[in-house]
Amino acid sequence: MSIPKTQFGYGYDKRYKTIQKFDDIPIPSVGANELLLKVEAAGLCLSDPHTLIGGPIELKPPLKTSDKFIMGHEIAGSVCKLGSELSKQQDSKFKIGSRFALQINFCCGDCEMCRKGLDGACTTTSQCYGLNEDGGFQQYLLVKNLRTLLPIPDNVSFEDAAVCTDSVLTPFHAIQKVKHKIQPTSKILVQGCGGLGLNAIQILKNYNCHLVATDLKPDIKSTALKYGANEFYNDLSKSNHEPQSFDIIFDFVGIQPTVDISNKYLKKRGTLSMIGLGKFKLVMPNYLFALREIEVFYNFGGNSIEQIECMKWISKGLIKPDVTIVDFKKLPQALEDLVNDKVRGRVVFRPNKL
């Protein structure tokens, strides 16, 4: 496989609030126990503009957070070069052409959380592809932490595998926390039908509950219903649903109005699952939630075993991510469209198909 000496990509530069194009990036040399991944698909996420505005996730000492790095945390690709030690391992799963999706965070495998199987909450490292370390908005990515490589099933595309790393994994992780509460008679509200919310609907429909979806965008209705929602509303107050009538509410928006809606419509001993990061701070109705014994869960990402399971669901046709492929050279415009609420589903780039 012919590998160029340089590449281009897009990323964070502390001096700017917009994404920057980096030209003539040297293709990194590969260490003995490292590999080079040819990036076949990289997804665009609202966390990308959040990173540009608010800065990267802070690295734990002794590592220093970089002032400049390649962004893109939803990544899938194929192995194009092996380190000298890896190439000697004949029975290794790491071979030229092997297909992998990346776990976003660099898990150590040794801390308490990792040993419990909760490697998405690793306490040793805070390194994350595209959020404070070089990510997938480039053609080739050096992978130093081999634990982050998760095999893609043969019948799952690179594009679906890439968005699975966050857009599918995050709602899947949130649902796993409360799935024991979901019955066929449960009434569940999904607030926000963007990339994550639509995937949540597809996951939840497998539990045979009654699903109500809401979103301010009227054009998203047909997709939400197609993916499994029983009802869709732009304004829940104009429906026939009574206050305090929902068992579980998933908030994929995370702004004060959606918290207020949850307060209005959650029944006693109901459950609120917070996923959306629309605002840095929210006011929770402490007394009213206490009076009704509302259970509140916060969520961020997921674990590697859940990500592998998500890819199995995609392989079996239980989830079909809503993916739109956009020319890699048009990434800055796609990012602007996402910020301006012009994107539906998930945008994916193919950096090596120029």
For residue 163, tell me if it sits in a domain: no
Question: Are 173 and 237 in the same domain?
Answer: yes
| pLDDT at 160 > cutoff 90 | yes
Question: Are 24 and 136 in the same domain?
Answer: yes
| pLDDT at 60 > cutoff 90 | no
Question: Are 230 and 144 in the same domain?
Answer: no
- Given pLDDT bands bounded at 50, 70 and 90, which one contains residue 2? confident
Mean pLDDT within 94-115: 96
For residue 313, tell me if it sits in a domain: no
Question: Are 15 and 136 in the same domain?
Answer: yes
Q: Is-contact 101 162, C-beta < 8 A?
A: yes
| pLDDT at 201 > cutoff 90 | yes
Question: Are 225 and 335 in the same domain?
Answer: no
Mean pLDDT within 95-114: 96
Question: Are 343 and 248 in the same domain?
Answer: no
- Given pLDDT bands bounded at 50, 70 and 90, which one contains residue 47? very high
| pLDDT at 168 > cutoff 90 | yes
User: Which of 51, 79, 136, 80 minimizes the C-alpha distance to 328?
Assistant: 136
Question: Are 36 and 136 in the same domain?
Answer: yes
- Given pLDDT bands bounded at 50, 70 and 90, which one contains residue 221? very high
> What does the block give as tokens for 132?
């404070």
Question: Are 274 and 236 in the same domain?
Answer: yes
User: Within 13 Å and on the Cβ side, how many CA atoms surround 108?
Assistant: 11
Task: Specify the pLDDT at position 92.
Answer: 84
CA angle at residue 286 from 281 to 289, to 5 degrees? 115
Per residue in 257-292, pLDDT (tens digit) is 999 999 999 999 999 999 999 999 999 999 999 999
Task: Specify the pLDDT at position 327.
Answer: 97
User: Which of 82, 89, 101 minimizes the C-alpha distance to 36?
Assistant: 82
Task: Specify the pLDDT at position 335.
Answer: 97
Q: What is the domain range of residue 224?
A: 169-298
Task: Specify the pLDDT at position 64.
Answer: 87
Q: What is the residue-averaged pLDDT of the chain?
A: 96
For residue 132, tell me if it sits in a domain: yes
| pLDDT at 1 > cutoff 70 | no
Mean pLDDT within 179-190: 97
Mean pLDDT within 64-74: 95
Task: Specify the pLDDT at position 217.
Answer: 93
Task: Specify the pLDDT at position 165.
Answer: 98
For residue 180, tell me if it sits in a domain: yes
Mean pLDDT within 212-233: 96
Question: Are 132 and 177 in the same domain?
Answer: no
Per residue in 84-104, pLDDT (tens digit) is 999 988 778 999 999 999 999
CA angle at residue 13 from 11 to 19, to 5 degrees? 45
- Given pLDDT bands bounded at 50, 70 and 90, which one contains residue 61? confident
| pLDDT at 142 > cutoff 90 | yes
Question: Are 96 and 186 in the same domain?
Answer: no
Question: Are 283 and 186 in the same domain?
Answer: yes
For residue 315, tell me if it sits in a domain: no
CATH number at residue 140: 3.90.180.10
What total of structural domains would you count in the chain? 2
**Helix 195-204, helix 169-178: angle, nearest 10:** 40
Question: Are 101 and 175 in the same domain?
Answer: no
For residue 26, tell me if it sits in a domain: yes
For residue 305, tell me if it sits in a domain: no
DSSP at 153: P
Per residue in 308-333, pLDDT (tens digit) is 999 999 999 999 999 999 999 999 99
CATH number at residue 185: 3.40.50.720
For residue 328, tell me if it sits in a domain: yes
User: Within 13 Å and on the Cβ side, how many CA atoms surround 196?
Assistant: 31
Cα–Cα distances in angstroms (integers) from residue 56 to residues 53, 93, 108, 141, 339, in the given order: 9, 32, 20, 19, 18
